[in-house]
Amino acid sequence: MPKISMIIALLCVTLFSAQEVSKQRVTDVLSTLASDEMKGREIGTPENDSAAIYIAKRFEENNLDYCTGNSFLVPFDYKGKTVYNVCGIKKGKSEKTLAFTAHFDHIGTTDQPGDKVFNGADDNASGVTAVIGLADFFKTNKPEFSMMFIAFNGEEKGMKGSKAISNIENLQTQYQNISALFNFEMLATVSKFGPNALYMTGDEFSDLDELFNAKAENGLKINPDPYIGQQLFYRSDNVSFVKKKVIAHSFSTVDMNSASHYHQLNDDVDIVDFDNLTQIINNLGKTFQKLTPKNFAPKYNETVNYN
């Protein structure tokens, strides 16, 4: 190989490797959000505000643009208090957009003796870590799609944050450009399908999973929802955008039949498989890097309920 070709090849490898999100970064972000100091991130508390500010700083590090106004913090009212969603945009080569979302609030603390903090490491510091990880992955890369990153507040109180931000008037044009919204909800454990695998709620309503899997990198796979009787598609923040006819699904690894940590005090960093989460984030990034508006345009079928 001529020397110049070898140098170019090595440079390409270096640039691609630089996009990889490290296990240490994943551990640091998740551990901060799920720390005792965050006191369970319940909406309306100072610690919930601190979590929003922490996420906004990570968006700033990744050179995202504001979605609206002059801040990544997007205010709304909750019981007379100003609380925040967090939103950032990365401009791609197209106005067509992929949205990556997760809720950052959890259920706070208890007055019972012993451990008092519902840390919410899986629910849903893990999902927010995936959103931040994808922003990290694309920091120095201009993808084909534009990208929207949203951390929702108030999911635990009836999806308050996603409802609020989905109805902001000056964001409606951007929402019309969303080709697909990926809502990450509880990714801390290995799924029943094994490592490097997710499942998609509402897989019966669109062809998103088939189109994604056709381009998926390094064996990553989106599987059908194995808990279809629990109606998970309509129980998370994606539904606020389904109502706008945006292709919006939630993606998870949690076993809803046996997850003993769900809304429990033991949902802390000890249950997180950081190797698997890091692998999933990087393989998501590598797959999204291959997607274009021409090869990825999922559609709903006639069975979805928009109400």
**Percent of the chain scored above 70 by pLDDT?**
94
SS3 content of the chain, % helix, strand, coil (to 5): 40, 20, 40
Task: Write down all domains in the chain, each with its CATH number in brackets.
Answer: 21-290 (3.40.630.10)
More confident residue, 102 or 10: 102
pLDDT digit string, tens, across residues 146-175: 999 999 999 999 999 999 999 999 999 999
Of the candidates 215, 189, 210, the residue with the CA atom closest to the CA atom of residue 200: 210
248 — pLDDT class (breaks 50, 70, 90) = very high
pLDDT digit string, tens, across residues 136-148: 999 999 999 999 9
Beta-bridged to residue 221, according to DSSP, are: 197
Integer CA distances (angstroms), 228 to 187, 225, 234, 235, in order: 18, 6, 11, 12
d(CA 174, CA 95): 8
Look at 15-19, 214-218, 222-226 and tell me which has the smallest mean pLDDT.
Answer: 15-19
Residue 138 structure tokens: 């694309």
d(CA 279, CA 23): 9
What pLDDT sits at residue 19? Answer: 84
Q: Are the CB atoms for 109 and 299 separated by under 8 Å?
A: no
The single-letter code of the amino acid at 276 is N
The single-letter code of the amino acid at 139 is K
Beta-bridged to residue 147, according to DSSP, are: 90, 98
Q: What are phi and psi of 211, to 5 degrees?
A: -65, -40
In the predicted model, what is the mean pLDDT of residues 275-288? 98
Tell me whether the omega of the peptide bond preceding residue 238 falls within 30 degrees of 0, making it cis. no
* Model confidence at 16: pLDDT above 70: no
Q: Are the CB atoms for 206 and 247 separated by under 8 Å?
A: yes
Q: How many residues does the chain have?
A: 307
In the predicted model, what is the mean pLDDT of residues 196-214? 98
What pLDDT sits at residue 125? Answer: 98
Q: What angle do CA 63, 66, 68 make, to 5 degrees?
A: 175
Q: Are the CB atoms for 143 and 47 separated by under 8 Å?
A: no
The single-letter code of the amino acid at 236 is S
Residue 121 structure tokens: 């490491």
Run of H or E including 184: strand 178-184
The rounded Cα 27 to chain-centroid distance in angstroms is 16
Q: What are phi and psi of 179, to 5 degrees?
A: -80, -35
Q: Are the CB atoms for 186 and 124 separated by under 8 Å?
A: yes
Mean residue pLDDT across the chain = 94
14 — pLDDT class (breaks 50, 70, 90) = very low
* Model confidence at 9: pLDDT above 90: no
21 — pLDDT class (breaks 50, 70, 90) = very high
What pLDDT sits at residue 2? Answer: 53
What is the CB neighbour count within 10 angstroms for residue 234? 14
At 250, is the secondary structure helix, strand, or coil?
A: strand
* Model confidence at 58: pLDDT above 50: yes
At 307, is the secondary structure helix, strand, or coil?
A: coil
